[in-house]
Amino acid sequence: MMAGTAGIIRRAFILCAVLCTFFALGIVSSPPALAEAKAILIADNVAITPGDVLVATGDVEVIHQGLRLIAQRIVYDRTRNSLVIEGPITLDDGKNITILASSAELSDDLRTGLISSARMIIDQQLQITAATMQRVDGRYNTMFTAAASSCQTCKGRAPLWEIRASRVVHDTVEKQFYFNDAQFRIAGLPVLYFPRLRLADPTLKRATGFLVPKFEASTSLGFGVKAPYFIAMGPSKDLLITPYATDLGERSVELRYRQAFRAGAVTLTGALSNETTKNGKLRGYVLASGSFRLPAGYTLNLRGETVSDAGFFNRYGLTEQDRFVTSAEIGRANRDQVVQARVLGFYSVRNREDNATQPSQMSDFERLQRIDLGDFGDFTFGLSAKVRQRSSTDPLDGDDRDSAADGRDVGGFGVSGEWQKSALLPFGVLGKATIGLRLDRYRVAEDAIFAGDYNRSNAAFAAELRWPLIKTSANGGTHKLEPIAQIVLAPDNAQRLFNEDSALVEFDEGNLFALNRFPGSDRIEASNRANLGLNYTYAAPNGQRLQLSVGRVISANTLPQFAAASGLGQARSDWLVAGQLDMNNQMGLTARSLFTQQGDLRKLELRSEVKVNKTALSVGYLYTPADVDEQRSDTISEISLSGSQSLSQRWNASVTARYDAQARALSKSGVGMVYRNECLLLDVSLSRGFTTSSNVDPNTVFGLSVAFLGFGGQAAGVAEQCRG
């Protein structure tokens, strides 16, 4: 300890002596001198010859304008403004470039000169070795007889891959490498030759050039190659062009355009194929989205989607979507107000749906305003308007036979108000009273049966009691049992016309105590009923949590308002049983189910997730019966599975599967393997789609992509270990 302290004091004394000598000799007044540039020199020994030559030896360190030079010996010639440096040498720019060398001759600002036996390390990832290196103005580093690689280099063994070149120029401003006479080698064997090659250095996140190619082989398209080309059009916009060609003659190109603005961003994606549809149209798709922040807290969201035909997405492995939405939406939401206005267009590629007879154009507006009445509760006032249009003008139900006039157009507006008041009652009982009122006016056109103007009114009163019972166990866990009873009085005096926006009703713990369980405005739940429920929650001290909910609805209305599959189609609803289990994010279980009065399962939605060490597994199950009212002709019984396993620091495996329990057959499956070390990313995948229809054929796809890390900002993985 004393020896180390003495060495520091001695070096500090020498530094002071050197600075005093600079002042005495007038070196600080010379324009190019080290002292004028405010350089700091630290060394074990410093000597100044009569010719104003400074010689520093022993752990020499120079700090100058962000550069840090470490060497064993430095000779500074004032008359030549040069440094002769003996190594080993380390030159660090203070950012992400480090140069190691045996000797060098540099200018006094360390920005220009010649370096021998150099090795440059960029971002602690890419390494370039060269016999000689020439620095020019601190911007260009030119390396001769060079080899570049980001792979671990072990003694007696060639790197996994490297690029050898007669000359390499690194532009530190543009962050680009320029290779002359470049050979790409794998395990020391030359495999490719490039007379000229340009690559981005690891610190550049966006640069124009080719990205990692992907090789695919599928039973429908054959063997193909995707070669994405990225164009940086500026700091706020870019374009990605991905040509795709297969040995079976398939040709397509995918495009993605992105642009960021001060208040938002837009993204456009699309593809065009050389194939044509049955009508002779080119096959392709366009998807567009945008989001913008507007004054006064409003946001604007834009979306556009269209596709040439139903089978295009599945053929090219893009998505299973078969209905598309084009929309413009503006709105804002805060504690006391919700404002939303939308214009939507729907487009379907389903075989059984005709876009001319579907309500493909819709506009709606909604405004909710909450008013705090203090001790008198709070009041929410609402305004709404909606328009639905069809392209057809036929007032009758045509060939589609969907029980709706082909040209039916609907418009209307509504006014609503809801008052709520909560109170704490004796014995810890929580009470709440709610009064709701809604007035609507409809106009129906181009419908031979329902054309005309209609008025609708609905009033509802609800009284709710909750009795939370809480107990703390000896281990610190908290149990909470809460029975809930709600009585709703809502006379059923509204005229029922048609139901286009409320056909699908989800009965769950979120709307068990709602005044209206219909998601749209075509229907309003109107009946005298009792909503009953029981909630149980257990919270452990270690963060584990269990929640269970049981409930049902008992209605005085014998006429069904809901579809049978919803669980609300009878006066006594199905039993709702739902629960959640969270084991500190290591295991989670979510379940929601409906049971009939006889105890038969009507609906089930189950999802389980497990994360243990290097294993992650997710399993889901969905069961929903067929129901004509919900426009579902077939029963859905499906099991989905996805999992991943870290096999080592560099190998990861994944698996996905979807099993149709109703058909007793797999509908989709896939496996993947990813290898990543410090210089290589290998991604291998195999998937199989078993679905068969008039637009979709079973398809097997094999994918392979290889990325050589170290260029263009791609992060490295875990390095291999040298042995022997």
Tokens encoding 17: 């002596």
% of the chain surpassing 90 pLDDT: 59
Least confident span in 23-32, 152-161, 184-193, 583-592:
23-32
- When pLDDT is averaged across residues 543-550 and rounded to a whole number, the result is 95
- The contacts of residue 106 (CB under 8 Å, 6+ apart) are 82, 83, 85, 112, 113, 114, 115, 135
Looking from the CA of 544 toward its CB, the CA atoms found within 13 Å total 11
Mean pLDDT, residues 57-73 taken together: 91
- Residue where a domain terminates, one of 156, 171, 205: 205
Nearest to 201 by CA among 184, 227, 179, 180: 179
Check residue 532 and give its pLDDT.
97
pLDDT of residue 119: 94
Q: Would you say residue 20 has pLDDT above 60?
A: no
Q: What is the mean pLDDT of residues 395-409?
A: 84
Residue 10 has pLDDT above 70, yes or no: no
Percent of the chain with pLDDT over 70: 91
pTM here?
Answer: 0.79
- Mean residue pLDDT across the chain: 88
Q: Considering only 13-17, 289-293, 478-482, 519-523, which range has the smallest mean pLDDT?
A: 13-17
Q: Give the pLDDT of residue 723.
A: 65
pLDDT in tens, 605-635: 999 999 988 999 999 999 999 888 787 888 9
Q: Is residue 214 part of a domain?
A: no
State mean pLDDT over 96-109.
Answer: 92
In a domain, 648, yes or no: no
Contact assessment for residue 587 and residue 545, using Cβ atoms and an 8 Å cutoff? no
pLDDT of residue 37: 52
What band does 692 get if pLDDT is binned at 50, 70 and 90? low
Look at the block and give the residue holding tokens 């004393």. 2
Residue 492 pLDDT exceeds 80:
no
Structural domains of the chain, count: 2
Q: How far is CA 345 from the centre of its chain?
A: 26
Quote the pLDDT of residue 697. Answer: 67
141 within domain boundaries = yes
Number of Cβ within a 10 Å radius of residue 410? 25
CA–CA distances in Å: residue 637 to residues 329, 601, 620, 661: 35, 12, 11, 5
Give the list of residues 6+ apart from residue 575 with CB closer than 8 angstroms, or none.
550, 551, 552, 594, 595, 596, 597
Q: Which domain holds residue 612?
A: 468-634
Residue 688 belongs to some domain of the structure? no
231 located within any domain: no
Among residues 616, 630, 568, 627, the alpha carbon closest in space to that of 596 is found at 568
Instruction: Tell me what pLDDT residue 12 has.
Output: 41
Helix (H) or strand (E) holding 226: strand 222-226
Using CA atoms, how far apart are residues 116 and 133, in angstroms rounded to an integer? 6
| Contact predicate 703/683, CB 8 Å | yes
Evaluate whether residue 173 is within a structural domain: yes
Among 634, 651, 667, where does a domain finish?
634
* pLDDT band of 34, cuts 50, 70, 90: very low
pLDDT in tens, 295-312: 999 999 999 998 887 777
183 domain-assigned: yes
Q: Does residue 153 have a pLDDT over 50?
A: yes
**Closest to 713 in 3D by CA, of 119, 126, 91:** 126
Q: How high is the pLDDT of residue 350? A: 79
> Within 13 Å of residue 490, how many CA atoms lie on the same side as its CB?
28
Residue type, 97: I
Quote the strand ranges of 677-723, DSSP E: 680-689, 699-708
Confidence at residue 201, expressed as pLDDT on a 0 to 100 scale = 86
Q: Is 350 within a domain?
A: no
Dihedrals φ, ψ of 246, to 5°?
A: -125, 165
DSSP-based three-state secondary structure for 508: coil
Which of 608, 634, 660 finishes a domain? 634
